[in-house]
Structure 1
Amino acid sequence: MEKRIAIIGGGIVGATAAYYLSTLPGSQNLKVTLFDDGIGQATAAAAGIISPWLSKRRNQRWYRLAKDGADLYPQLIHDAQIGTDVYQQTGTIVTREAQPDLEILHDLAVDRQKTAAGMGQITVLSAQDVQRHVPLLTAPQPGILISGGARVDGAALVHALLASAQDKNLTIRRERVTLTADEAVHTSLGDRKFDRIIVAAGAWLKDLLAPLDVIAQVRPQKGQLIELAVKDYPLQENLPVVMPEGERDFIPFGHGKLIVGATHEDDKGFDLQAEAAVTADLLASAQRLVAGVTADDITAVRVGTRAYTDDFAPFFGPLPDHERLLVASGLGSSGLTTGPQIGRLLAGSALYGGTPDWSEYELPLKTYLTSASRA
């Protein structure tokens, strides 16, 4: 018997869910439809760093989710036959200017490595060592190299996952949809019913759930980054990602392309306009580490909208009192790290049902979702 599943949102969670719904056992009996108009999507604007191990977050549930998300990547990339231009374990360098801070960072890395084989090797680097690894840096800082760290192009990853799923059982509809009070998807062609609906629409989740009398505790955050044309060093596609102390992240993608950013702007709502002052700030960060870079080297500015909760933690799973729906939101700036694991788990739940226990990764969903009639 054919089962119909809808996905609302084609970012990292929705795309990964669609991919697994096309590959998991039993997927041959599924018909999957994904709805997304693409406007403001955080993933499409993102260039991510997959390296959660040295995070100072105290939320252990988030850390386990992020760690497992990083561990999932190599298998996902292999199975989906995605190339190194999209994802590559180039290593991650996290810098600290002061020697005592560098020692604290190293101790943290050694401790985290005990339960995180995916970290790979840990190497302490002098400023000169950092420059040898990333020669485009002209003002490097000493740091720690984590060999298992990676970089990923969010838009390219989503495109590849969705293209793979389209070859099997996925149909994509490029439109913005809403939900009805009786759990139908309201489309431009009328209301459609599905056996299960995965709602992975980021900061737009709040509006989508309103007709169901559900209030989602989630807010938008604007993020901007810039692309720069820099000197194309030999083997630049293998240069490590750099997370410099006090500066924006540096993500070399090879062929002379450098990504710098992104910002975290809490007071801009769903605004998608690139701002000259923010672009100048991102460029200034680049100029402090890369000599000779000017505004003429900016080739693109990307803007997207992330979703955040008050405790900065993501949530996902079956929607309480609405068993047909599964939801995910609040991934924040770590969406490209945690998103694939969340998408995989939601796909399994949508396909096989049951009452999954994901308490190792998150607080109960009712922490973030409440009934409007009880508010």
Structure 2
Amino acid sequence: MRILVVGGGAIGLLSARFLAAQGAEVCLVDQGALGRESSWAGGGIVSPLYPWGYSPAVTALAHWSQDFYPQLGARLLADTGVDPEVYVTGLYWLDQEQAEPLAWAARERRPLQALSMEAVYQAVPALARRYSQALYMPGVANVRNPRLVKALRAALEAMSNVRVHEQCAVSGFIREGGRICGVHSTRGELRADRVVVAAGAWSGELLRGLGVGLPVEPVKGQMILYQCAEDFLGSIVLANGRYAIPRRDGHVLVGSTLEYQGFDKTPTEQALASLKASAVEMLPALADAEVAGHWAGLRPGSPGGVPFIGPVPGCEGLWLNCGHFRNGLVLAPASCQLLSDLLLGREPIIDPAPYAPAGRLG
């Protein structure tokens, strides 16, 4: 089977890898450079920020992916020599209401616990002495998303049944007899037996040309990066909707904003000031740390953050794997495995019904 994947972020790259591993001939195209949009810009926490606040559909994908990430990182390192740095640090929620999260954890059998602030300050000495209660989940990891993209790219380049075209914009679909059999692109016509749209925030725009209303829209997020000592922060901390993520080399990411401003992804001084204030509120020593970077990306916003995974009704041959909102990196392994299972007629890893485009499109 020849499969064309439109979109070269983490979702598109991992979809291509899983499909090609099952013997499909895969062509992947991206309008820019691979993985330079949301996949590059995000924080890479391998958990929804507030996992108890999501639907069972998101939870099912998240749990499968969280369990899969360590072996994915190890396999990519072995296959490519590029380490995605799946870094297990645990996650502290500070001054978070506790009843609902703890009930959720008991129901879902996740190891979330309430800790005394004395224990938290011993574990995270850089934390501001301003918090009154904390929840902690061990085992939560973060992945260094630019390196994950680099590893996935290297893995695809090593597969003889995969072709990758960067700087290849898609302008529309080739439709013959009610069937989608390819796309019009800056490289000309590209034909396939199946076309998978995994174009992140741009997915809704692509489908509009078919008269399909896909409720996926760009949602801007801004981040800052600090350079710190390697032992400055040992765990992810989250307070008042903002988080700080440690990397192994001492970099600390702080994010993020949530802005509905179309496809504008210009970093702003207002957001920089707000993020700095949140950073110092959590970790006072960051007031004297060097800001090594400030950037913005566009998330693929969707209703409830539930992605669209499956065939598009009325457009035979057209499939979706998009709309992951704030959790693209978290949900990517499960989403892409589910897409591969469905498209190739295999037993799906989880119930696919909540993600089906049917009944959710305009």
TM-score, scaled to structure 1 = 0.84
Q: 1:17 touches 1:344 (CA, 8 Å); kept in 2?
A: yes
Q: Structure 1 residues 336, 122: closer, same or farther in 2, change over 3 A?
A: same
Is 2:132 aligned against 1:132? no
1:18 partner amino acid: A
1:92 partner amino acid: L
Please show how residues 64-103 of structure 1 align to structure 2 within 5 Å: 64-81=60-77, 86-96=85-95, 101-102=97-98
* Secondary structure in 2 matching 1:215: coil
Give the structure 1 partner of residue 227 of structure 2.
229
**Cα distance in 1 for residues equivalent to 2:332 and 2:323:** 10
Determine which of 13, 19, 23 is the counterpart of 2:11: 13
Alpha-carbon deviation of 1:344?
1.7
**Cα distance in 2 for residues equivalent to 1:259 and 1:357:** 33
Q: What do the CA deviations read for 1:351-374 (whole angstroms, capped 9, x no partner)?
A: x2479796556254133323xxxx
Give the structure 2 partner of residue 116 of structure 1.
none
Q: What do the CA deviations read for 1:212-257 (whole angstroms, capped 9, x no partner)?
A: 23221222110111101223327x6xx221122x151110113221
Alpha-carbon deviation of 1:37?
1.0
Give the structure 2 partner of residue 164 of structure 1.
155
Alpha-carbon deviation of 1:283?
0.5
1:303 partner amino acid: A
Alpha-carbon deviation of 1:286?
0.6
Q: Structure 1 residues 32, 209: closer, same or farther in 2, change over 3 A?
A: same
* Secondary structure in 1 matching 2:129: coil
**Cα distance in 2 for residues equivalent to 1:93 and 1:363:** 30
Q: What do the CA deviations read for 1:242-290 (whole angstroms, capped 9, x no partner)?
A: 122x151110113221000111112x11111000000110000011122
After TM superposition, the structure 1 stretch with the greater mean CA deviation from structure 2, 325-334 or 290-299, is 290-299
Please show how residues 138-153 of structure 1 align to structure 2 within 5 Å: 138-139=128-129, 141=131, 142-153=133-144
Q: 1:19 touches 1:162 (CA, 8 Å); kept in 2?
A: no
Please show how residues 1-375 of structure 1 align to structure 2 within 5 Å: 3-24=1-22, 26-27=23-24, 30-38=25-33, 41-52=37-48, 55-81=51-77, 86-96=85-95, 101-102=97-98, 105-113=101-109, 119=110, 121-139=111-129, 141=131, 142-168=133-159, 169-175=161-167, 176-182=169-175, 183=180, 184-233=182-231, 239-244=234-239, 246-266=240-260, 268-294=261-287, 297-350=290-343, 352-353=344-345, 359=351, 362=354, 364-370=356-362
1:138 partner amino acid: A
Q: What do the CA deviations read for 1:55-87 (whole angstroms, capped 9, x no partner)?
A: 232522222222222222223223323776521
Q: 1:96 touches 1:143 (CA, 8 Å); kept in 2?
A: yes
**Cα distance in 1 for residues equivalent to 2:346 and 2:325:** 28
Extract unaligned runs of 5+ from structure 1.
114-118, 371-375
**Cα distance in 1 for residues equivalent to 2:14 and 2:228:** 32
Q: 1:127 touches 1:140 (CA, 8 Å); kept in 2?
A: no
* Secondary structure in 1 matching 2:358: helix
Alpha-carbon deviation of 1:187?
2.0
After TM superposition, the structure 1 stretch with the greater mean CA deviation from structure 2, 310-319 or 162-171, is 310-319
Q: Structure 1 residues 88, 296: closer, same or farther in 2, change over 3 A?
A: closer
Q: Structure 1 residues 102, 33: closer, same or farther in 2, change over 3 A?
A: closer
* Secondary structure in 1 matching 2:329: helix
Identity of aligned residues (%): 27
Q: What do the CA deviations read for 1:168-225 (whole angstroms, capped 9, x no partner)?
A: 1322211222322413222223112112211101121122112323221222110111
Count residues with an aligned counterpart: 350
Q: Structure 1 residues 72, 260: closer, same or farther in 2, change over 3 A?
A: same
Q: 1:53 touches 1:67 (CA, 8 Å); kept in 2?
A: no
After TM superposition, the structure 1 stretch with the greater mean CA deviation from structure 2, 257-266 or 354-363, is 354-363
User: Over the residues paired in the alignment, what is the CA RMSD in angstroms?
Assistant: 2.7
**Cα distance in 2 for residues equivalent to 1:299 and 1:66:** 30
Extract unaligned runs of 5+ from structure 2.
none
Q: 1:70 touches 1:337 (CA, 8 Å); kept in 2?
A: yes
Q: Structure 1 residues 110, 355: closer, same or farther in 2, change over 3 A?
A: closer
Q: 1:308 touches 1:314 (CA, 8 Å); kept in 2?
A: no
